[in-house]
């Protein structure tokens, strides 16, 4: 930091000369830096998946147009992550008048205190430097937010200490928005702000003025304003006022992952699965796909409230819980390796039920039962992906002839594998899951259990808590009476 100018005079003689600093707004700064990144082919929003062809191009358009913009989407669609990622398009450092509450530009100060200081000290005015990560201010909108929180208020203590009238500009205690001057100001859930606060926002955005305690204050702030909202609230029926909506340059719709693969990449990035235990911990791909498919199934289920959405946090939390269940079982069974199974997904139901809201029909059935049905549907769909047109009749026949399999939940992989190998034809199909006969017992047992769960999901076999996996025995047809007609019209009975 010693290389940076420390006074206004040094600043004027440095590369941060007046035309470079004074004439460029924060939105112009973001535009120029964005163009440079695009020319270099840099990744613009690292960690954001599935938006490359939809949301990100629209955000780029808004930034290049120097628009304030709003992201409309349901919960868990990376809206806050995107807003916070905008700081990457700011300069690494900017100069401001040292001690200023609103980060005043040394060449064009807004607040009365900075103007007086520069008039008094001239080139000796001290300069401080602000890094980009301090130029982002975020506020969650709630109904109790006041105009004082957002814009500012008159501070009577300042007035008393300075012997000034309350209407003096020097008595203002600035709120969050002025303190975001020369930066980015983000508001989450914009429609939850009271109407009068929304009026104050659009006055600042358009005219640059506001009234504080009845006194008109001119605040020509240099700020990029970005917002998030639920689409249900951001309508004529919602709680957004039309003049504010009119002043927001771009409305951009976010969405959930379009494919299971996109969802898996997000979950893999966000979930804590790199455990620090002594045993190797692994989650097979088919287990990851089932967990992701649960979220997709929930978003389409009529018993789940679509207006509130099913957050991407559901598969993230679930996959963490799945691995924890596998760890717990592996420790009890003294397994050398920890491999997640389909059964661990059912053990992770507590991490699912809080992630979706139910309609009336779903409430009657119960969140746990809904979660179990979603898992079964996800297992069935994933099973079809790996085993389309595969003949499992020998496996089904083994159960139909009286075979049953029930293994305690905490049984070791070796114990489970020994029982599974009794089922004829089961291990002939593990290759489709990338599992070989030379793989350890944990991998083989997990894959074989998935096949059984898939057959149960498609109602080829049964499963219950009491009996485990089983099937109803096939009934042999009773011998036909040769006197009974084999078909056609039954002859009428004749009477003498």
Claim to verify: residue 86 and residue 231 sit in the same structural domain: yes
Please tell me the distance from the alpha carbon of residue 177 to that of residue 202, in angstroms, as a whole number. Answer: 12
pLDDT in tens, 116-136: 999 999 999 999 999 999 999
pLDDT in tens, 241-299: 888 888 899 999 999 999 999 999 999 999 999 988 777 889 999 999 999 999 999 99
pTM above 0.75, yes or no: yes
pLDDT at 159: 67
Q: Taking Cα atoms as reference points, which of 218, 203, 2, 194 lies closest to residue 115?
A: 218
Whether 1 maps to a domain, the answer reads no
Claim to verify: residue 248 and residue 266 sit in the same structural domain: no
pLDDT at 304: 94
| Helices (H), ranges, 334-426 | 342-347, 360-365, 367-387, 393-400, 413-420
Claim to verify: residue 187 and residue 264 sit in the same structural domain: no
Number of domains in the chain: 2
Claim to verify: residue 190 and residue 295 sit in the same structural domain: no
Claim to verify: residue 237 and residue 310 sit in the same structural domain: no
Whether 227 maps to a domain, the answer reads yes
Angle, nearest 10°, between helix axes 285-300 and 367-387?
130
Torsion sign over Cα 437, 440, 443, 445: positive
Question: Domain span at residue 15?
Answer: 8-253
Claim to verify: residue 221 and residue 277 sit in the same structural domain: no
Claim to verify: residue 249 and residue 267 sit in the same structural domain: no
Whether 486 maps to a domain, the answer reads no
Torsion sign over Cα 60, 66, 71, 76: positive
* CATH number assigned to the domain comprising residue 96: 3.40.50.300
For 414, half-sphere exposure in the C-beta direction (CA atoms, 13 angstrom radius) is 6
Q: Taking Cα atoms as reference points, which of 181, 167, 272, 250 lies closest to residue 222?
A: 181
- Does the structure show a pLDDT above 60 at 49? yes
pLDDT in tens, 152-163: 887 777 767 776
Whether 488 maps to a domain, the answer reads no
Claim to verify: residue 249 and residue 326 sit in the same structural domain: no
Please tell me the distance from the alpha carbon of residue 448 to that of residue 398, in angstroms, as a whole number. Answer: 15
Claim to verify: residue 265 and residue 368 sit in the same structural domain: yes
C-alpha 151, offset from chain centre:
30
Please tell me the distance from the alpha carbon of residue 393 to that of residue 425, in angstroms, as a whole number. Answer: 9
Whether 479 maps to a domain, the answer reads no
Whether 166 maps to a domain, the answer reads yes
| Domain finish residue from 207, 229, 253 | 253
Claim to verify: residue 205 and residue 296 sit in the same structural domain: no
Claim to verify: residue 189 and residue 284 sit in the same structural domain: no
| Domain finish residue from 232, 253, 274 | 253
Claim to verify: residue 231 and residue 264 sit in the same structural domain: no
């Amino acid at each position: 930091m010693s290389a940076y100018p420390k006074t206004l005079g040094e600043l004027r003689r440095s590369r941060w000369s007046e035309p470079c600093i004074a004439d460029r707004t924060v939105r112009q700064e973001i535009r120029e830096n964005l163009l440079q990144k695009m020319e270099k082919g840099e990744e613009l929003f690292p960690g954001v998946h599935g938006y490359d062809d939809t949301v990100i191009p629209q955000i780029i358009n808004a930034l290049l147009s120097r628009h304030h913009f709003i992201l409309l989407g349901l919960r868990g669609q990376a809206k806050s992550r995107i807003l916070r990622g905008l700081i990457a398009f700011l300069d690494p450092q900017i100069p401001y008048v040292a001690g200023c509450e609103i980060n005043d530009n040394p060449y064009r100060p807004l607040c009365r205190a900075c103007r007086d200081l520069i008039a008094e000290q001239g080139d000796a005015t001290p300069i401080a430097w602000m890094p980009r990560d301090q130029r982002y201010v975020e506020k969650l909108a709630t109904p109790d937010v006041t105009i004082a929180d957002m814009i500012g208020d008159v501070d009577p203590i300042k007035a008393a200490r300075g012997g000034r009238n309350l209407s003096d500009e020097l008595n203002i205690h600035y709120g969050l928005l002025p303190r975001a001057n020369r930066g980015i100001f983000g508001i989450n859930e914009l429609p939850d702000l009271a109407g009068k606060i929304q009026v104050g926002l659009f006055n600042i955005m358009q005219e640059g003025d506001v009234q504080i305690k009845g006194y008109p204050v001119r605040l020509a702030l240099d700020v990029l304003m970005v917002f998030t909202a639920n689409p249900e609230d951001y309508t004529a029926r919602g709680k957004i006022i039309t003049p504010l909506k009119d002043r927001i340059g771009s409305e951009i719709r976010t969405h959930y992952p379009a494919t299971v693969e996109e969802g898996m990449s997000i979950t893999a990035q966000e979930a804590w699965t790199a455990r620090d235990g002594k045993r190797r911990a692994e989650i097979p791909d088919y287990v990851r796909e089932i967990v992701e498919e649960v979220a997709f199934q929930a978003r389409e289920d009529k018993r789940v409230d679509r207006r509130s959405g099913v957050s991407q946090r559901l598969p993230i939390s679930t996959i963490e819980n799945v691995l924890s269940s596998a760890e717990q079982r592996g420790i009890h069974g003294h397994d050398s390796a920890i491999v997640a199974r389909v059964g661990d997904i059912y053990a992770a139901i507590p991490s699912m039920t809080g992630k979706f809201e139910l309609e009336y029909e779903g409430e009657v059935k119960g969140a746990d039962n809904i979660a179990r049905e979603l898992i079964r549907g996800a297992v069935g769909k994933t099973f079809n992906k790996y085993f389309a047109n595969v003949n499992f009749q020998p496996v089904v026949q083994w159960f139909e002839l009286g075979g049953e399999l029930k293994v305690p939940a905490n049984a070791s992989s070796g114990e489970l594998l020994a029982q599974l190998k009794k089922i004829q034809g089961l291990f002939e199909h593990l290759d489709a899951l990338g599992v070989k006969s030379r793989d350890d017992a944990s991998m083989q047992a997990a894959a074989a259990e998935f096949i059984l769960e898939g057959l149960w999901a498609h109602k080829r076999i049964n499963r219950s808590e009491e009996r485990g996996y089983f099937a109803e025995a096939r009934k042999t047809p009773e011998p036909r009476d040769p006197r009974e007609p084999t078909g056609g019209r039954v002859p009428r009975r004749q009477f003498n």
